[in-house]
Structure 1
Amino acid sequence: MSHVVLVIASIVVLLPLLFVVFLSFKDIPGILGTPLSWPDVFHVENYPDAWNEGNIGQFLVNTIVVACVTVAAILAFSSLAAFVIARYRFKGNQLLYLFFVSGLALPIQIIALPIFILIKNLHLLNTLTSLVIVFASGGISYSVFILVNFMRTIPFELQEAAVMDGAGPLRIYWHIVLPLIRPALGIVAIFQFLSAWKEFFLPLLLVQDPSSMTVPVGILSFVGEHSTEWQLLLAGLVIISLPTLIGFLLVAKQFRRNLVGGGVKA
């Protein structure tokens, strides 16, 4: 029974994606007039046309740079914050933890205007730096929540033994804690990378310069005020989906291992 449910769920998820790929090889009359019919001619040229006319290469580079730098910043700051919160007892410890995780309950739309004003006053509008700052700030709450709960499962005896051997906080963090939380770091990195990759609202708010756009916003160049180049839009959607799909296939085994490791620790 469970296999039947999985097959049905897979069909529900994959069918729309395969339909987009199918339509991306049609021309506009075929897409709008007979979307379900088999195309007489497969318009392979839709893909190079979408790549060249939509400046997709630049959008992909921008998105990869923003996502990678964001993930690096989040892992660095959130792991240090989680280490202090989870491994040391001090007055205000729980309050500090609540301060970080409170960001999970704050919809981005509520603080969109203050974010825009802040970025504008910093003269960072239309820059990739603005996206990295906002993405990293928004992702730290989730990351601290995951890492704190993971670090709390590490026996304190390990830390006490390291202290007796003369290890300081940074050495404990680098040589003991980080190696033990690699599964959690992997999960955080994957989710934060995908979150930065697919984010639409903030890039639309902060970036209007085509040279600094990311793929979710840049792909809208095919949508005009009076007409839409559907064949190029669909081909572009397939192209921008390939990097994340290929990346996930490459790390799928490690991702499953991290999930299992995280479940065992929890």
Structure 2
Amino acid sequence: MPELPEMETYRSQLNERIAGRAVAAAEVGRERTVNVPVDQFIERVQGRTIERIDRRAKMLLFRLDNGDTLLLHLMLGGSMFYGTTEEAPDRTAQVTLSFGERKLFFHGLRLGYLHIYDEAELTEKLSKLGPDPLDAGFGAEEFAAALRRSRGALKTALTDQSVIAGIGNCYADEMCFAAAIKPLRRMADIAAAELRTLFTAMHSTFAEAIRYGGYMESPFFAGDALTGGYNDRCKVYDRGDEPCYRCGSLIVKTESSGRKVFYCDRCQR
């Protein structure tokens, strides 16, 4: 499932290509992907200018010039492609937005969605999310205070979107490895100094992941050399039984609260 770095990569690439452009046509291939009747969705989107694309947690917000917002959550299996029909992958698009010759294809939204909201509806929809990890006002103290409200394992707290919004399975494990903290530890047993280290590790992990385009391997456009570049740079995630880059011990793969967890038993305290 795409997490903060993947959606940041999409956000920057989308702003470069479609911000300030009008939607020439809108097509809905799967009615359940949108939250209003298809005819109404098309009427509210078609002809509108996309002023900019923002990110909130793991979601993207396409800001339209009439005050509406398209809220995208890719969930598991979702992706986007921008280009001509000939360039696009041979996949069924649940929604397609046309910008002349080039189109924005939304693929794999069987679990995900592209909903349209007015300002009040959007505020209500996002109201239960925790703070964004990259917000300027979200410092080490706020980070620690947010996590301290959880009583379970560190991995569970990090991936709870009502606690901190934007961290998922992959980057929770990666930042714990960077901080040398085992993700299965109980929050009550983690010292304040360790949480400060984890806060720094979160920022360095996200910075590297964003710089290399996240871990999603599906290119966003023809010739895309950025998207998915972090996939080969993961230190622990999805590397069960492979040697640790630090010490050579085999990476442990287990589960916690139904989530996969990867860590090095020697390097992480």
TM-score normalised by length of structure 2 = 0.21
Question: Which structure has the highest strand share of the two?
Answer: 2
Question: Which structure has the highest helix share of the two?
Answer: 1
Highest CA radius of gyration, 1 or 2?
1
Work out which structure has the larger RCO, using CA pairs closer than 8 Å and 6 or more positions apart in sequence. 1
